[in-house]
Amino acid sequence: MQKRSGMIFIIGLCMALFLILAAGPLYAKDPKPARGSQPVPVKTVPSIKEHGAYVKLTKGYVRLLPNIVFDEKGVFFIESNNPPHFFLKDMESLIVYGEHDWSVLTVNPMGFYQPSPLGKLRFAFGKEVAIDAKRQGKDMYILKPKGLLGRGYYSIWINDTAWDFILD
């Protein structure tokens, strides 16, 4: 009789353990949409809260880190701070948000200038790229180049701030 009650206890314990472990996957959400459901519309403008520059990619928005523009004997340059890399095919537009003097907004290719005394790479601003700047809201502009951008090192430059990025 004791062997039988011990066996029933072990079987009951195994079944309880199985139910606890199986309950998680049974109640998990299915990431696939139901058949016939409509896709969720994507916002055309992000809910940007921080001032700065963003790159709109096919997968979403990426915020660019600002860089300081230096002036040395009439040459304007930045020191590279490990700029983000994006695939050219994924980039859709550039977005700038904040209170700026919009009359001096430019997009420029960057060219190697010289190393700093500490060995950091310095890049000078190249000839301005023609852009279409469309105002979106109070302090936001969406920038699209008028021509085709190629692979290379670029920056968005307003006053003393530049946001740099690399297109691969």
Contact at 8 Å (CB) between 136 and 142?
Answer: yes
pTM for the whole thing?
Answer: 0.69
Dump pLDDT digits (tens) for 51-109. 899 999 999 999 999 999 999 999 999 998 889 999 999 999 999 998 888 889 999 99
User: Which sequence spans correspond to the domains of the chain?
Assistant: 52-167
User: Quick one: how far is CA 63 from the chain centroid?
Assistant: 5
Give me the pLDDT at residue 157, please: 95
Could you give the maximum distance between any two Cα atoms of the chain, in Å?
99
If we measure between CA atoms, which residue out of 119, 123, 147 comes closest to residue 68?
123
Encode burial over 128-160: b for 16+ CB neighbours within 10 A, e otherwise. Answer: ebebeeeeeeeebbbbeeeeebeeebbbbbbee
Dump pLDDT digits (tens) for 3-58. 777 788 888 777 777 767 766 655 555 455 444 444 444 444 555 678 899 999 99
Cα-based distances in Å from 112 to 78, 86, 115, 154, 162: 10, 20, 9, 12, 16
* Triad 129, 131, 134: Cα angle to 5°: 160
Give me the pLDDT at residue 28, please: 55
Q: Indicate the burial class of 61 (C-beta count within 10 angstroms; 0-12, 13-18, 19 or more).
A: middle
Q: CA-CA distance, 52 to 65, in Å (whole number)? A: 8
Give me the pLDDT at residue 32, please: 53
CATH class, domain 52-167, is mainly beta
Q: CA-CA distance, 161 to 96, in Å (whole number)? A: 12
Dump pLDDT digits (tens) for 120-144. 999 999 999 999 999 998 889 999 9
Contact at 8 Å (CB) between 151 and 109?
Answer: no
The band of 111, judged by pLDDT with boundaries at 50, 70 and 90, is very high
Q: CA-CA distance, 37 to 155, in Å (whole number)? A: 41
Give me the pLDDT at residue 39, please: 44
